[in-house]
Amino acid sequence: MKKPIAQQVWELTEPTAASLGFTLWDVEYVKEGADWVLRLTLDKPGALSGEAPGISIDDCEVFHRAIDPILDEADPIEGSYMLEVSSPGVERVLTRPEHFEACTGLEVIARCFTAVNGARVFQGKLAGMKEDMILIETEAGTAELPRKAVSKVETVFAW
83-100 pLDDT per residue, tens? 999 999 888 999 888 899
- Residue 131 confidence (pLDDT): 86
**Both 69 and 139 in a single domain?**
no
Residue 16 lies in a domain: yes
pLDDT at 47: 76
* pLDDT under 70: residue ranges of the chain: 1
Report the pLDDT value the prediction gives residue 52, as an integer from 0 to 100. Answer: 74
Beta bridge partners, 152, equal 111
Q: Are residues 65 and 123 both part of a single domain?
A: no
Both 68 and 116 in one domain: the answer is: no
Same domain, yes or no: 78 and 102? no
* Residue 143 near residue 129, CB atoms below 8 Å: no
Q: What is the pLDDT of residue 46?
A: 79
Q: What is the pTM of this model?
A: 0.83
- 113 lies in a domain? yes
Least Cα distance to 156 among 142, 143, 138, 140 occurs for 138
Q: Which long-range contacts (CB under 8 A, 24 or more apart) does 68-75 make?
A: 70/12, 70/13, 70/16, 71/9, 71/12, 71/13, 71/38, 74/8, 74/12
Where is the domain boundary, 86, 107, 140?
Answer: 86
Both 41 and 82 in one domain: the answer is yes
* Structural contact between residues 123 and 156, judged by C-beta atoms closer than 8 angstroms: yes
**Domain end call among 66, 86, 106:** 86
Is 47 part of any domain? yes
pLDDT of residue 158: 77
Write the CATH number for 123: 2.30.30.180
How many CB atoms are located within 10 Å of the residue 54 CB? 16
Percent share of the chain, pLDDT over 70: 99
Q: Which domain holds residue 129?
A: 97-155
Chain-centre distance of CA 98, in angstroms? 9
- Residue 47 has a CB neighbour count (10 Å cut-off) of 18
Q: Is residue 91 part of a domain?
A: no
Domain count, the chain: 2
CATH number at residue 65: 3.30.300.70
